[in-house]
Amino acid sequence: MDSLITVFLPLALAIIMFSLGLGLTVEDFRRVVTRPKAFAIGASTQLILIPLVAYVLTILFRLPPELAVGMMILALCPGGVTANLLTKLAGGEVALSISLTGIISLVAVVTVPVLVAFFAGHFMGLDAPAIDVTALGVSMFLITLVPVLIGLAIRSFAESAALRLDAIVSRVAVVLFVVVVVGALAANWSLFLANLTVLAPALIILNVVLLAAGIFFARLFGLTMPEGKAIALETGVQNATLGITVGSLIVEQASALPPFSLPSAVYGITMYIVSIPFVLWLRGR
């Protein structure tokens, strides 16, 4: 289990983020300026709506403090490669999805450490772990932002090679994600079973509400259906691997996956139970 926490988990996240970088282009970042409306709505739902809904659910379901912090960690994570893939399958605007994932991932390096420290203190009080915000930010920078920038650089200077590499890395990223989730749940099986009846409903409701909210706000502000699909999936599908990793990083010398990571690990399964039927419904619209 030590190797999963100290080596495999950060490596898996770095490869997943590298895959994201390979799918990015400079044009994706320019789109933020040239088409600000859709991006602003998508960014607002990710940065404001998701944490708000997650916080309400932690209160309604009376989650234990450590699991409540884990729920907020998940909510603070941006969308990931999975959201981009599901957007493509749903017939959504992939470029907008990638733009949102890329930009919010950059912002998360700053926002996640600060807000995780805040919510840990809020829910746990004196029992909260001592979180070194700077160290957590540096760790996130190294295992998320650096791989994204390397992938972006390869895509910028050798596009054909990047596209070939992306096909391979994307498959590896999916396999690593599955291994991380299965390993996380296996190592915390008793804790998982003890909290499944509370965690699973809360996470499924989180998924359903956020997917529906994404569509609602896209229609409210007059966006196209492809834009609405992208925003819905970016809002409703979080980077579970990042959530698991952050949860383990805030516990010093963790030899097993802590409860802070459990909501993200369970979410890695429940999100497909909700999102795949949602994608199939979107394909027909």
**pLDDT per residue as tens digits for the range 209-226:** 999 999 999 899 999 898
At residue 256 the predicted structure's pLDDT band, cuts being 50, 70 and 90, is: low
Mean pLDDT of 9-18: 79
| Percent of the residues in the chain that have a pLDDT greater than 70, as a whole number | 91
CA dist 163 and 150 (Å) reads 14
Q: How high is the pLDDT of residue 4?
A: 54
At residue 1 the predicted structure's pLDDT band, cuts being 50, 70 and 90, is: very low
Q: How high is the pLDDT of residue 99?
A: 84
Q: What is the pLDDT of residues 73-111, one digit of tens each?
A: 999 998 877 888 888 888 888 888 888 888 888 888 889
If one compares 175 and 219, the residue with the highest pLDDT of the two is 219
Torsion angle of C-alpha atoms 26, 29, 33, 38, degrees rounded to 10: 130
CA dist 283 and 14 (Å) reads 31
Q: What is the pLDDT of residues 52-67, one digit of tens each?
A: 999 999 999 999 999 9
Instruction: Answer for the pair 33, 159: CB distance below 8 angstroms, yes or no.
Output: no
CA dist 166 and 126 (Å) reads 45
Selection from 160, 45, 145, 140 nearest residue 97 by Cα:
45
If one compares 181 and 258, the residue with the highest pLDDT of the two is 258
Structural Rg of the chain based on CA atoms: 18
Does the predicted model carry a pTM greater than 0.95?
Answer: no
Residue 259, phi then psi, degrees to nearest 5: -60, -25
Consecutive H or E run containing 272: helix 262-283
If one compares 112 and 8, the residue with the highest pLDDT of the two is 112
The answer to whether residue 180 scores a pLDDT higher than 50 is yes
CA dist 230 and 215 (Å) reads 9
Q: What is the pLDDT of residues 118-155, one digit of tens each?
A: 999 999 988 888 888 888 888 888 888 888 888 888 88
Mean pLDDT of 198-206: 91
**Total of domains in the chain:** 1
CA dist 262 and 264 (Å) reads 5
Task: Indicate which CATH number applies to the domain containing 64.
Answer: 1.20.1530.20
Query: What number of other Cβ atoms are within 10 A of residue 46's Cβ?
Result: 27
Q: How high is the pLDDT of residue 118?
A: 94
Query: In the predicted model, what is the mean pLDDT of the chain?
Result: 84
Q: How high is the pLDDT of residue 62?
A: 92
The answer to whether residue 237 scores a pLDDT higher than 60 is yes
Task: Domain of residue 6: give its range.
Answer: 2-283
Q: How high is the pLDDT of residue 239?
A: 87
CA dist 259 and 72 (Å) reads 12
Q: How high is the pLDDT of residue 202?
A: 94
Selection from 89, 85, 66, 50 nearest residue 203 by Cα:
50
Q: How high is the pLDDT of residue 41?
A: 93
Q: How high is the pLDDT of residue 252?
A: 62
Q: How high is the pLDDT of residue 26?
A: 75
Instruction: Answer for the pair 251, 135: CB distance below 8 angstroms, yes or no.
Output: no
Residue 190, token pair as written in the block: 């008793």
CA dist 270 and 115 (Å) reads 24
If one compares 197 and 181, the residue with the highest pLDDT of the two is 197
